[in-house]
Amino acid sequence: MEFPDHLRYSREHEWLSLDGSRARVGITDYAQDALGDVVFVQLPEVGAAVAAAVSCAEVESTKSVSDIYAPVGGTIVEVNESLNDAPEQLNQDPYGAGWIFVLEVADPSEADALLDAAAYRQLVEEQ
C-alpha cells in the first residue's frame, strides 16, 4: 500500500497536494482498496464552496454509496471529468489519474492540520 511522502492526508482517507493556494484532492490507496471496484463518481460542481470535513462528492462501488469529504475549505475550480467515463481510475491510479477535484483553498494553513505520510500510515496500520 502506497503513502506518497509529498502529500497530506485526512482521517477520512482523502489525500491533498497543495501548490500555492490550489490543492488537488483524491482518495488514498487504502480508501480505494476498502471501497472495492468503483463504478460511478458524482463529481462536485465547479464553483461550489466547500467546507473542511464536509461531503462534496460521492462514489459508488459494489452497490455502496460513500461520501468524499473536502480535506480543507475552499472553492472547487476543476473536476476530473475523465472519471465520468472511467471511474475505475480511482482504483487503478488513486494518486495520479484518479484525482477527483482541485480546490482554491480559502486558508492554506488549514492543510497544516492534516496528517503527513508517516502519521497517515500509522493511522491506517492502527486500524
The residue ranges that bind another protein (CB under 8 A) are 33-37, 39-40, 42, 55, 58, 60-67, 126-127
> Could you tell me the smallest distance in angstroms from the CB atom of residue 85 to another protein?
14
> Could you tell me the smallest distance in angstroms from the CB atom of residue 19 to another protein?
30
Whole-number Cα distances in Å, 59 to 27, 40, 68, 90: 10, 6, 7, 10
Amino acid symbol at 47: G
> Could you tell me the smallest distance in angstroms from the CB atom of residue 48 to another protein?
18
Question: Do residues 100 and 67 lie in contact, with contact meaning Cβ atoms separated by under 8 Å?
Answer: no
Question: Do residues 1 and 124 lie in contact, with contact meaning Cβ atoms separated by under 8 Å?
Answer: yes
The Cα 61–Cα 49 span in angstroms is 26
C-beta of 55 vs 75, nearer to another protein: 55
C-beta of 82 vs 84, nearer to another protein: 84
C-beta of 18 vs 50, nearer to another protein: 50
